[in-house]
């Protein structure tokens, strides 16, 4: 589904991501874990062509998308939920969701609002509320729903649990699991919350100072308890 790398990403003279190579199979869930500052958000921005200078190949379903702008990558089936959510504060929940239509691939119909409310039930009663009236957790669910609306082949979630109440974190994990099961959506997420990442994915990469230091499934991660202490503990 998605192949990136070896990928090097730069902000000016700063070499943030160094020879990182990741792959996500069709329908798979993969987490990228790491502390703040490890380079997780920069990696996602590089995959979407959203800021850093990039060197290295990126392919989606076998198509080289390296030279494409961000909007064209979205219309090839990459959906990004950014770390800062980017909710339109002056639009209603329903209007925010419908903005996701602009990322729909040619020849593909977006989901209906009813289908989205089936995936994310809390938004049904909030659909007429303005973006600025939502809590942080509600905004996060809305940001995910807006990206899902266009039926992306691969959904990229950047730090979805940051600043979100635990009860909503649990809801998001359940809703993502149900959506993936019903629709076969491929998921790539960055996280510091190990519980959430484990609930949503089958395997993981550990990122530290812009480099991959571990790649494997959760059983392999659990068999090396020092990994959590060395690369995730604050």
Distances (CA, A) of 159 to 42, 76, 130, 194: 12, 23, 23, 11
Dihedral angle computed from the Cα positions of residues 118, 84, 167 and 90, in that order, rounded to the nearest 10 degrees = -60
Q: How far apart are CA 19 and CA 196, in angstroms?
A: 27
Give residue 83's pLDDT: 85
Give residue 84's pLDDT: 84
Give residue 67's pLDDT: 87
- Enumerate residue ranges in the chain where pLDDT < 50: none
Give residue 234's pLDDT: 58
Q: Which two tokens stand for residue 212?
A: 């991959």
Give residue 231's pLDDT: 86
Give residue 204's pLDDT: 96
Give residue 52's pLDDT: 92
Just give the CATH number of 2-231: 3.40.50.300
Q: How far apart are CA 208 and CA 231, in angstroms?
A: 7
Instruction: Output the CA torsion sign for 175, 176, 177, 178.
Output: positive
- C-beta of residue 231 within 8 angstroms of C-beta of residue 39: no
| Type and span of the H or E element at 116 | helix 113-119
Q: Which two tokens stand for residue 127?
A: 């659909």
Pinpoint the alpha helices (H) of the chain.
Answer: 40-48, 70-74, 93-98, 113-119, 136-148, 166-183, 194-200, 218-222, 226-231
Give residue 183's pLDDT: 78
| Type and span of the H or E element at 22 | strand 14-24
Parse the chain into domains and list their residue ranges.
2-231
């Amino acid at each position: 589904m998605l192949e990136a790398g070896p990928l090097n990403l730069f902000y000016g003279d700063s070499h943030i991501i160094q020879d990182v190579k990741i792959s996500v199979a069709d329908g798979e869930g993969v987490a990228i874990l790491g502390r703040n500052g490890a380079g997780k958000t920069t990696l996602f921005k590089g995959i979407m062509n959203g800021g850093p200078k990039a060197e290295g190949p990126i392919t989606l379903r076998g198509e080289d998308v390296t030279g494409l702008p961000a909007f064209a990558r979205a219309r090839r089936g990459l959906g990004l939920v950014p770390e800062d959510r980017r909710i339109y504060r002056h639009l209603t929940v329903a209007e925010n969701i419908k903005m996701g239509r602009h990322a729909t691939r040619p020849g593909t119909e977006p989901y209906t609002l009813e289908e989205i409310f089936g995936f994310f039930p809390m938004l049904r009663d909030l659909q007429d509320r303005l973006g600025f009236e939502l809590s942080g957790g509600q905004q996060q669910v809305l940001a995910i729903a807006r990206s899902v609306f266009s039926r992306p082949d691969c959904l990229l979630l950047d730090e979805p649990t940051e600043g979100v109440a635990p009860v909503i974190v649990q809801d998001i994990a359940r809703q993502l699991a149900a959506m993936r099961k019903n629709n076969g959506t491929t998921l790539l997420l960055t996280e510091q919350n190990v519980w959430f990442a484990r609930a949503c994915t089958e395997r993981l990469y550990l990122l530290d100072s812009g480099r991959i230091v571990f790649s494997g499934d959760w059983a392999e991660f659990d068999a090396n308890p020092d990994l959590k202490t060395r690369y995730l503990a604050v």
